[in-house]
Structure 1
Amino acid sequence: MPKLSRETLTKAAVESAKPQARVYSLRDAKVVGLVLRVQPTGRKAWAVAYGRGQATTIGDFPVMTLEGARITAQRLLAEIAEHGAPLRAQRKAETFGEFIRDQYGPHVEATAKQGKATVAAIKSVFGGWYDKPLTAITLADWDALKAERLRSGTQPATVNRDLDRIKAALQQALNWSLMDANPLAKVKRIKRGIEARVRYLSKPEEKRLRTALEAREKRRRKSRESGEAWRAARGKDSLGAFQGYTDHLMPMTLLAINTGLRRGELTQLRWADIDLKGKRLTVRAGYAKSGKARHIPLNTEALATLKACRKQHNGDGPLFGVAAVTKSWRNLMTAAKLDDFRFHDLRHTFASKLVMAGVDLNTVRELLGHGDITMTLRYAHLAPEHKAAAVELLVL
């Protein structure tokens, strides 16, 4: 019999639960019926126990957090109290669309930080499957969709995210006993070699970018001054001069080029993540792509940028309050005469400049938040002089 323990579970207790030779369970005293099963492999799965020896898996930790597991378990236990069993266990014949709309969608929105975005992405990419019976989805369906996505120019990284989302959804259907097997369980992500695209700014290009940013700021300030004169002439209230930057574009660009943060990490930064005295910022695990927090030291320009931003904020909430910079970035690229340069390439510029300055790849990996060194190796070719110095150490 598995070992059982009863306690009011905490995040620390769940994270510290170590695998043993046999599966064991931790039972939550706060939501009676919620169980964390720890497998010898290290897998930690949430389940809801009910009736005599009956249980249903509801998700894996850490994908499903303790808070999310409690919310899901309470909903499931309410179903069991009213109907004698989970409703999902009673409904096996349904379409993929009904599964997403009625079950998986509410579940992932309640338990995942980007739940709504995940559901929207599934509908956008897999909408053609919505009328298909859930149990009729096959590997061939995925292969056909993947091929079509790649033919249309969708990047492999985006297709990999598509795969991650659909595998997670189908795995949850399996956990809920709505399917006998996950047809995509063994499908692997598209491998991206270290030769993957690395576009970074040359010194002349970076100079043009900075010049375009300064010119844009100057135009916007001049426009504000003109508007103030117009308002004054008509007796309207003054908007006041700009404090710090005129909008989000210049500070986001400067921070990206000096910290290597992804656009999504920048847009979710909050003032609570910034330590101006300690000269560092924290990328929280909740919005880091890797799911792990990391701390980035602030160089002189990054620190000055944040201090300028601070002039227009009260120190609470998000730094920028925007989700995208698509239009303003496109106009900036035109003004700077930069071709084939995305906002994400500022991250490549950050990494490339570090490597060319002699910073070791593992330090670059830590600053970028890469899970392993493989992704960081794409920058290795930028330091050929270090390879040459290494082989010179060989003696006859």
Structure 2
Amino acid sequence: MAGVKITKRVVDSAGSRATRYTIFDSEVKGFGLRVYPSGLKSYVFEYRAGEGGRSAAKKRVTIGSTTEFTPDEARKRADKLRASVKVGEDPQGDKAKARAAVTVEELAKDFLKEHVKVKRAQNTASAYEDIIENHVIPRLGKLKAKDVSTSQIAKLHYDMRDTPSMANKTTAVISSMFSFGFKMGLMPKRENPANDVEKYEEEGVERYLSTAELERLGAAIHIAETEGIPWAIDPEKKTKHLRKENRVTIISQHAAAALRLLIFTGARLREILHLEWQHVDLERGLLFLPDSKTGKKTIVLNAPAMDVLANLPPIGRYVIAGESAGTEDEKPRADLKRPWQAVRRHAGLNDVRVHDLRHNFASFGAGGGMGLPIIGKLLGHTQAATTQRYAHLDADPVRRASEAIGTQILDAMGGRLRKSNVVPMKKGGG
């Protein structure tokens, strides 16, 4: 079984083949690097339990992914396992029992750490984390992963029916999480319990703001960051202990700036919340995003957006300062739920979502005849089909084409338009 000493160079150079294979280490017997056709690599330890010998069944313990352990760290773990086998222990059997008892919460944490954060873009990883923290763990977290049934996932999906898109995304995340668990041996293999949950049909809800609504929205943001928005007291809730005066919600300057940047740039929420000052170039009017939903992306700033940034005081690493701004463990702001709810309520726009601000930005461009390719570039779409959802708003080119055709036909007929520029239709048949 002895081969070569497993080093980082050996790990990096080990390419995938049609079938999985193992490279064994020359220093610790049974320690190896297992390479799968998918390119996934993990450290393993093989041994024969009991008294050993070739008559004993060979067993294998997966130490962990190459993204989790260095070769030296994995070798030390393998050496400890080898020592335990010599004294009659069966690490694979012990580990199998532990795996059978893994909870959904434990599975979810491993999934985020070893798969999502390693292989997904930062914004996508944050979306996965939000879904798991807000929907999966509260409902399924304490259950044994091996015992989770399709009916339990279907019930969670049904309970989220008022938000069909999020319900479908949650089911997709659960499915991916279980696939990861099976592949990494975190639980016994079986049919993925999320596979048979039927998804809801999603109708594209596109909410665009009128000029009057935008005016109300702008006024509400200004009021929210200055004098404050009056509280909305729910008459059904007990509020006798609340003070009767000064019931207002004041949002921070940075929260107000985030809302304005979403309006003026059409950027995604996390593109703004995760924006760092080092990626802002006011001199050239550009934002250089190293890791958006669609990968590396550049956002072109217009004058209103540049004005927002120019008047925003830097507090820490992130443009939109959160609670930990300026500290060693600074993290980006998680969301804008509270300020947005207060602002949209005051503006009378309770049906408008934060993401609708992105659609609204696109609608102004399409309605202004700027063309879908340009709109796609501004939004950072990598596929033209994604921008096609705004095609019905791009009426200007169609109108120009209709005018050109009508004029040519009129000229060919030798006719002239009436002074009213309207051609009356004759009554009766043609």
Describe the superposition over 1:210-253 as per-residue Cα deviations: whole angstroms up to 9, x where unpaired.
Answer: 23333444537xxxxxxxxxxxxxxxxxxxxxxxx961233112
Is the 1:265–1:283 Cα contact (8 Å) retained in structure 2?
Answer: yes
The one-letter amino acid paired with 1:197 is V
Question: Residue 273 of structure 2: which of 267, 271, 278 is its match?
Answer: 267
Residue in structure 1 matched with residue 153 of structure 2 by the alignment: 142
Residue 264 of structure 1 deviates from its aligned partner by: 2.4
Instruction: Output one character per residue of 1:167-208: Cα deviation in whole Å (capped at 9) or x when no partner.
Output: 122112211332323424755884766x51111211111122
Segment of structure 1 superposing worse, 374-383 or 201-210: 374-383
1:115-153 deviation digits (Å, cap 9, x = unpaired): 8656524212424xx43x533434344334322321xx2
Task: Report if the CA contact (8 A) 1:352-1:382 is conserved.
Answer: yes
**What is the distance in 2 between the residues matched to 1:120 and 1:87?**
32
Q: Distance in 1 between matches of 2:402 and 2:198?
A: 36
| Residue correspondence of structure 1 range 183-262 to structure 2 within 5 A | 183-184=192-193, 186=195, 190=199, 195-219=203-227, 247-262=253-268
**1:108 maps onto 2:112 in alignment:** yes
CA RMSD of aligned residues (A): 4.4
Q: 2:137 aligns with which of 116, 123, 134?
A: 123
Name 1:162's counterpart in structure 2.
170
**Offset at residue 302 of structure 1 (A):** 1.0
Following superposition, the deviation at residue 297 of structure 1 comes to: 0.8
Alpha-carbon deviation of 1:379? 1.8
Structure 1 residues 267 and 314: CA distance shift in structure 2, 3 A? closer
Match of 1:276 among 282, 289, 293: 282
Which is greater in Rg? 2
| Alpha carbons of structure 1 residues 261 and 57: separation in structure 2 relative to 1, 3 Å | farther
CA contact (8 A) 1:174 1:182 kept: no
Which residue in 2 is equivalent to 1:352? 363
The corresponding residue for 1:63 is none
Correspondence for 2:320: 319
Structure 2 residue matching 1:201: 3-state secondary structure: coil
Give the direction of change, closer, same or farther, for the CA distance of 1:78–1:252 in structure 2 (3 Å limit): same
**Which residue of structure 2 aligns with residue 299 of structure 1?**
302
Which secondary structure does the structure 2 equivalent of 1:123 belong to? helix
Unaligned residue ranges in structure 2 (runs of 5+): 26-30, 48-57, 83-90, 118-124, 229-250, 323-332, 410-430
Deviation at 1:324, TM superposition (A): 2.6
Distance 1:157 1:108 in 2: 21
The Cα shift of 1:305 comes to 1.1
Q: Is the 8 A contact 2:289 2:296 kept in 1?
A: yes
Q: Distance in 2 between matches of 1:313 and 1:355?
A: 34
Among 68, 88, 112, the alignment partner of 1:70 is 68
Shift of 1:86: 5.9
Aligned counterparts, 1:48-67, within 5 A: 48-51=43-46, 56=62
For 1:208 and 1:123, how far apart are their aligned partners in 2? 38
> 3-state SS of the aligned residue for 1:261?
coil
The structural deviation recorded for 1:296 is 0.6
Question: How far apart, CA to CA, are the structure 2 residues paired with 1:88 and 1:376?
Answer: 53
Q: For residues 169 and 338 of structure 1, do their structure 2 counterparts lie closer, same or farther at Cα, with a shift above 3 Å needed?
A: closer
- How many residues in Structure 1 have an aligned counterpart in Structure 2? 337
Structure 1 residues 136 and 215, CA gap change in structure 2 (3 angstroms): closer
Aligned-partner residue type, residue 369 of structure 2: G
In 2: Cα distance, 1:348 partner to 1:180 partner:
43
Check whether the contact 1:361–1:376 (CA below 8 A) recurs between aligned residues.
yes
CA-to-aligned-CA distance 1:7-52 (integer Å, 9 cap, x gap) = 8469xx89xx9988x468898x9xx955664x4xxx4323324338
Asked if 1:384 is matched to 2:395, the reply is yes
SS in structure 1 opposite 2:267?
coil
Paired amino acid for 2:308: T
Q: 1:108 corresponds to which letter in structure 2?
A: L
Q: Give, in whole Å, the separation in 2 of the partners of 1:26 and 1:361.
A: 51
User: 1:79–1:86: 8 Å Cα contact kept in structure 2?
Assistant: no
Contact 1:57–1:176 (CA<8 Å) still a contact in 2?
no
SS in 1 for 2:160: helix
In the other structure, the counterpart of 1:365 is: 376
Provide the C-alpha distance between the structure 1 equivalents of 2:191 and 2:63, rounded to a whole number of angstroms.
15
Q: Match of 1:295, as an amino acid?
A: T
Q: CA deviation at 1:273?
A: 1.8
CA distance in 2, matches of 1:164, 1:88: 32
Rounded to whole Å, the distance in 2 between the matches of 1:26 and 1:360 is 54
Q: What percentage of residue pairs aligned between the two structures are identical?
A: 21
Q: Deviations over 1:262-308 (max 9, x none)?
A: 222221111122122221113332xx344x22111111111111111
Helix, strand or coil for the counterpart of 1:70?
A: coil
Q: TM-score, normalised by structure 2?
A: 0.63
Q: Which structure has greater helix proportion?
A: 1
1:40-87 deviations in whole A, cap 9, x for unaligned?
Answer: xxx43233243389585967xxxxxx7xx1349887666544335568
Q: How far apart in 1 are the matches of 2:275 and 2:94?
A: 38
**Counterpart of 1:249 in 2: which secondary structure?**
helix
Q: Secondary structure at the match of 1:219?
A: coil
Work out the CA distance in 2 between the residues paired with 1:205 and 1:192. Answer: 29
Which amino acid is the alignment partner of residue 184 of structure 2?
A: W
- 2:184 aligned partner: 176
1:171–1:182 Cα contact (<8 Å) kept? no
Give the TM-score, by structure 1 length.
0.68
State the Cα distance separating 1:352 from its structure 2 match. 1.2
Quick one: which amino acid aligns to residue 120 of structure 1?
Answer: E
Unaligned ranges ≥5, structure 1: 60-65, 221-244
Match of 2:344 in 1: 333
Q: In structure 1, what is the Cα distance between the partners aligned to 2:337 and 2:41?
A: 40
Distance 2:94 2:132 in 1: 19
Mapped to 2, the partners of 1:187 and 1:386 lie a distance apart of 45
SS of equivalent residue, structure 2 residue 42? strand
